[in-house]
A and B are shown apart, each in its own frame.
Chain A
């Protein structure tokens, strides 16, 4: 059975060729110069976060501000570390909360949305069109005004002030389902048909054929969802200090005004560094999948 599936997956193996076709030298040069110029403009915030985190206090308050640091120091991080040890709720607790909320919201959404995207992309059943349209349209309704009703519903369900109040709504975002459905649509039907003939059930097809073949899609979705969940401060949904995520306490630290400008710069760095690390891991995996399965060079 597993063997069969493997041979079927080879269906998508195509010749591995290094050389790109239809590329002119002049075109290449032009594009690289364009990329270089735009790249510099796009990199400014990244460069600034890193430099600010390394600036000693006097450079942080320098006016007019300079982008590049002159005397780099790690003082800001040690300041932040001291402040972290000072919090009323132990810092490890905030981290645990963040791991649960971010992990739960991300993994939950990727799995649940993909599971629903598969039949929407590849099965024919009554109600398919209308369900999908609902998801697409839902993304166009302003989030500001749905927040209040959402808060009411969360209270009615009695999951207020718990991890669930953040995780469950995150699982129901429209974007992930839409993204997954679009990618699954591209898979050739023959891929699933042959597995079906081999007696594989729909869940099995989903898990061992569809999902591996749309790895770039769910890795990308994971990036979006991670960023979304990581940026969540708990807001009105979580009142207990012990349940608040890391993001909340980091904001508390950096909100201390001028005296904490150094620690604040370190906080900004950490808040950006974590999703960037996650981003790089996922992105390089998107590439690896492609090389190993040979779908693309």
Chain B
């Protein structure tokens, strides 16, 4: 009895909803007008290219001839025949799982500390910590540090200290490649998320700290967890998405420091693999399939991270 009642109720709701939809759209005319310029451009220059790329992933496409439909062939090859892809997927997961969360915490930590400073010091400190992202020569520095002979800074220092007897070819030794990439990536990663946290900390109401102090928040760590972080949840969400897109797309570091192909593919990542097919071998169909898999991977981890972030401050 109650079952049919529920169903009738649901049908009624649905009819109401449909009737209301047009009315709602008309009522919110201003909203749609404001959305229009962005979303028209967004459709042409972002949505359409993405859809086309997903389409290409089901084709053989060498950028000279018309794409030929091949069904799931690219994906099958990717998962069952391409050993290098499997290796690069593993590397990417390691890099993402380590650098993603750590660099997120670092961004937050440094933004938070910098927020304690005032005026010019603050702007200057922000610049220093953002410098690797803005200077463009960051890799040159690391190449000097990691040079494989005894003139490399790292080798020089370690040999002087007596830790090493002879120079180590850092980027040509398989076991060092991933750890080095992780360090450099962390060093480089105070970028988008960091600056958005800096700006986000500005918008936290000062009065909330006073209220919290009265409520018995004792030290800065409690203040951070119970006041600051919940107040800047939107920025935390934003930072997390940026971190995911960065962590899964690590490629430049590897290309610049380990080269492509790196020694025994120790530094291969999904995106270096993708670049290899997309820009060197010009197999756009296969490259698109890699991009689609990477996309799904990022979407999945985004779901997970957003769920975790909802818990902040509880």
Contact = CB atoms under 8 A, between A and B. Distances in A.
Interface stretch (B47-55, B77-85, B160-168, B260-268): B47-55
A42 B132 contact: yes
Interface string A130-147: 010011111111101111
Contacts of B205: 14, 295-296
Interface in A142-160: 142, 144-150, 152-153, 157
B129 A231 contact: no
Interface string A152-182: 1100010000000000110111110111001
Given A45-B132, A131-B39, A172-B38, A224 B195 contact: yes
A126 interface: yes
A178 B238 contact: yes
Contacts of B141: 44-45, 48
A135 B37 CA distance: 14
A287 to B, nearest CB: 6
B314 interface: no
B192 interface: yes
B278 A144 contact: yes
Interface string A56-67: 000000011100
B74 to A, nearest CB: 12
Given A140-B295, A144-B278, A146-B53, A119 B134 contact: no
Interface residues of B, number: 103
A290 interface: yes
Given A138-B46, A150-B49, A17 B210 contact: yes
A157 B207 CA distance: 52
Nearest to A288: B119
Nearest to A154: B45
Contacts of A179: 196, 238
A135 B278 contact: no
B271 to A, nearest CB: 6
A144 B37 contact: no
Contacts of A88: none
Contact of A284 (B35, B120, B196, B290): B120
A181 B135 CA distance: 29
B4 interface: no
Interface residues of A, number: 101
A49 B200 CA distance: 30
A178 to B, nearest CB: 6
A191 interface: no
A272 B238 contact: no
Interface string B275-297: 10011000010011011001100
A148 B46 CA distance: 12
A21 interface: yes
Nearest to B21: A126
A144 B120 contact: no
B169 interface: no
Given A125-B31, A144-B274, A280 B38 contact: no
A14 B206 CA distance: 7
B49 A46 contact: no
Nearest to B232: A186
B25 interface: yes
A261 interface: no
B200 A149 contact: no
A183 B204 contact: no
Contact of A138 (B47, B147, B238): B47
Interface string A93-118: 00000000000000000001101101
Contacts of A287: 119, 122-123, 202
7 closest cross-chain pairs (CB), A and B: A116-B38, A182-B234, A119-B31, A149-B52, A125-B28, A64-B151, A149-B49
Interface of B: 21, 24-25, 27-28, 30-32, 34-35, 37-39, 41-42, 44-50, 52-53, 56, 63, 110, 113-114, 116, 118-120, 122-123, 125-132, 134-138, 140-141, 144, 147, 151, 156, 187, 190, 192, 195-196, 198-200, 202-207, 209-210, 213, 217-220, 222-223, 231, 234-235, 237-238, 241-242, 244-245, 248-249, 271, 274-275, 278-279, 284, 287-288, 290-291, 294-295, 298-299, 302
Given A64-B156, A175-B242, A203-B30, 11 more contacts: A22-B222, A35-B125, A119-B35, A142-B290, A149-B49, A168-B44, A173-B46, A182-B237, A220-B198, A224-B192, A287-B202
7 contacts: A123-B31, A137-B295, A202-B34, A271-B136, A272-B135, A272-B136, A276-B127
